[in-house]
Amino acid sequence: MNLTFKNRTALVTGAGRGIGKAIAETLARSGVMVICVSKSAESCGATAAGIVAAGGKASACAVDVADGAAVAKASEELLKAYPLIDILVNNAGITRDGLLFRMGEGDWNDVISTNLSSCFHWTKHLARPMTRARWGRIVNITSVSGILGNAGQANYSAAKAGMIGLTKSLAREFAGRNITVNAVAPGFIKTDMTTEFVNNPEVAAKILEAVPLKRFGESADIAAATAFLCSEEAAYVTGQVFAVDGGMAM
């Protein structure tokens, strides 16, 4: 099925690598203008340059999504250049794993601010023009850890579960303005975030015991689900958590 996008502009956080890069490239292939955000100018710049070289429309913006003031400033500048950013994909995320008694307050705060508070800040700034336009799509990339919990990931699971609560609340708040808000919950996907697990045969085998489809996912699997939720075709879907996890959380 070809997805329909009517002259849309998207902002994708964490678009420099992995899942965010795949989402940015997939939306761009459907004709969406994509603002690629990442922490380093090199990685979002490379993604945007790749999209433009392939004939798509993209720009890059380096901003630390964990810094609310920086997100406010970047949003203000971006909205001058693109008055209506009608698709927002909150994908940037980090892990700082450890069992609770060994988890420092810094590890807790960094994970909460990067994964969860960033969604609050971006949505607050970018959703207002969507409400005026009476059309918008917001997709938050959560995790199977936010649904099931995971030993050693109290900070990450709490942030990802928080994203699900945020998604459902904002879906209710914005429904009257024709803005849908959904979450995608990846399982184990092959990216820089999971290299150390995927490349360790013993750890990989242990993880795959919990994956009914018995393989790791690809960034393209998450990009396909996200693109659908951003499209016209998903107009009647809101407040949902779409697990793309090989069956882990069923």
Q: Which residues are catalytic?
A: 156
Closer residue to ligand NAP, CB minimum distance, 3 or 89: 89
What is the nearest approach in angstroms of ligand NAP to the Cβ of residue 93?
Answer: 2
Nearest to ligand NAP of 188, 242 (CB atom): 188
Contacts of 69 by beta carbon, 8 Å cutoff, 6+ apart: none
Report DSSP state, residue 117. Answer: I
Which spans in 54-153 are helix H? Answer: 68-81, 105-111, 118-133, 144-148
- The token pair at 61 is 């913006």
User: Rounded to the nearest whole angstrom, what is the least distance from the CB of residue 210 to ligand NAP in the complex?
Assistant: 13
Radius of gyration of the chain (CA): 17
Of residues 105 and 192, the one with the C-beta less far from ligand NAP: 192
Task: Tell me the closest approach of the beta carbon of residue 154 to ligand NAP, in angstroms.
Answer: 15
Report the alpha-carbon distance of residue 63 to residue 80 in Å, rounded. 17
CB of 6 to ligand NAP, least distance (A): 27
Contact 109, 67 (CB under 8 A): no
Count of H-run helices and E-run strands, the chain: 10, 7
Point out which residues bind ligand NAP (CB under 6 A): 13-14, 16-20, 38-40, 43, 64-66, 91-94, 114-115, 141, 143, 186, 188-189, 191-194
Name the residue nearer to ligand NAP (CB basis): 50 or 131.
Answer: 50
* Kind and range of the H or E run holding 26: helix 18-29
Order of strands across the sheet that contains 33-38: 58-62, 33-38, 9-13, 87-90, 136-141, 179-186, 241-244
The total number of residues shown for the chain amounts to 250
**Residue 36 or residue 135: which is nearer to ligand NAP going by CB?**
36
Q: Residue 94: name the closest of 66, 114, 116 by CA.
A: 114
